[in-house]
Amino acid sequence: MRLHTKILLGLLLGAAVGIGANLGLGGDHPAVVAIDTYIAAPVGQVFLRMLFMVVMPLVFASIALGVAGMGDIRKVGKVGAKALAYFLATTALSGTVGIAAVSLFEPGKGLDPAVRAELLALYAGQAGEKVTQSQAGGFGIDTLVGIVTKNPLRSAVEGDMLGVIFFGLLFGIALTLIDEARARPMVDVLGALEDAMVKIVEIAMRIAPLGVAGLVFGVTARFGFALLEPLGGFVAVVLGGLAFHGLVTMSVLVVALLGLSPRTFFRRVRPSLVTAFSTSSSAATLPTNIKVAEDDLGVPPKVAGFVLPLGATMCMNGTALFEGVTVLFLCQVFGVDLSVGQMVVVVAMTVLTAVGAAGVPGGSMPLLVGILAMFGVPGEAIAVVLGVDRILDMARTTLNVLGDLVGAAFVARSEGAWTPADLPPLAVEPPIDQSPDWPKEDEIVPRLSPVRPPEER
């Protein structure tokens, strides 16, 4: 049985048992409280703590490696600058779309005020003080100055994500500016650190079915059906936001930046989108992406080979949108009202942490937990959305990969290395002056999969 199936079953089992206990015995029954206190909650806490432990080292290593991987910033030139500007701009745009969608529909505000008060009381030890600080805090010059951390180790200990990200950015830039031979050992250490943190996430995800079941049991046994309706609204907002950004916003960019019909573009990149949806991994889709960009879009190999690997790490449109919706949704659930300035911070954080997210299934979860902590939402709240994350992960990875391909074609066109006229003919499309019958085999331009003539089909 696949892991995501186990997690879904854990969610359903925990929710069913919890709701049954709530309806049959009541959330305050001694037996229900005992099961939650001594069995369900400890298992869930072990899972959450394994995610918490990797947040800061993973953020630092990923951000520093992402910058250092570009090489000497002074030598990257126009191609790197254009690619980076495109990645950051479209990722910020997708995060803004997510923030706008969740602010418009407010799926988390349908919660009964009494239930919200109980949630805050339940997690008072983890979130009560931070919720008050988040509601009272504003966004001003002190916030900007505070990004420049005085002590990166202290920032890591105190959960100051912005401070750690800023230090990671500077550290990565510094590595590109010193002698390559001196920087290489540190880059190798950072790469090993990132790989080790990703492995810990993979280990944590192996116990996720039990952890999710325990956490969801505790919530549903206490609140019954009260949280299920907002969760359905959350899923609808995420999928709707991803669909809007992919079909509307990206279509506009395809027309404006590439001069192509969106229908033509989507038809040619379909193999990459299918691979991304099925694997939920930008990294696993990279070989297909490069082949599609070169063979079906006609992007020069030197551009595709530079932009697409960089995009697999830094162009995270879908991830940023998902993180923005999740943060605001859980803030609504816990009654945390964010100011406009704080929403700007959320967008910035979704962009930066999306860039630092590992290109593997569930790679954004530890970073998302860190963002939630910034706004006073307890880490346990991640259990509310984790059970439905698989389908959302598949959808947002598809949008990530779509953004990569648009970026590769945009950079190639802006450099004069590609135009819409360079689109190669598709294998299944006969020449215009030919009859509707299938062309002969030697007239077909080989593509991703060869087309067999009728007599062999």
Task: Please give the pLDDT value at position 90.
Answer: 92
- 3-422: CATH, from 2.40.10, 1.10.3860, 1.10.10, 3.30.110: 1.10.3860
Task: Please give the pLDDT value at position 185.
Answer: 92
> What is the tens place of the pLDDT at every residue in 164-209?
878 887 898 899 888 888 989 999 999 899 888 878 877 887 887 8
426: left (phi over 0), alpha (psi -120 to 50) or beta: beta
In the 8-state DSSP scheme, what is residue 115?
Answer: H
> What is the tens place of the pLDDT at every residue in 418-438?
988 888 887 544 444 444 444
Q: Which of 252-261, 284-293, 352-361, 406-415 has the lowest mean pLDDT?
A: 352-361
Task: Please give the pLDDT value at position 452.
Answer: 42
Task: Please give the pLDDT value at position 415.
Answer: 85
Q: Could you tell me which of 369, 135, 111 has the C-alpha nearest to residue 219? A: 111
- Residue 402 pLDDT grade (very low, low, confident, very high; cuts 50, 70, 90): very high
Task: Please give the pLDDT value at position 436.
Answer: 43
User: Rounded to 10 degrees, what is the CA torsion of 32, 38, 39, 40?
Assistant: 60
- Residue 450 pLDDT grade (very low, low, confident, very high; cuts 50, 70, 90): very low
Is the whole model's pTM more than 0.85, yes or no?
A: no
Q: What is the mean pLDDT of residues 59-77?
A: 69
Q: What is the mean pLDDT of residues 113-127?
A: 60
Environment class of 326 (CB within 10 Å of its CB; exposed 0-12, middle 13-18, buried 19+) = buried
Q: Which residue has the higher pLDDT, 331 or 62?
A: 331
Task: Please give the pLDDT value at position 122.
Answer: 61
- Residue 239 pLDDT grade (very low, low, confident, very high; cuts 50, 70, 90): very high
Non-local (6+) Cβ contacts of 235 within 8 A are 388, 391, 392
Q: What is the mean pLDDT of residues 134-153?
A: 64
Alpha-carbon span 329 to 327, nearest angstrom: 6
- Count CA atoms within 13 Å of residue 89 on its CB side: 11
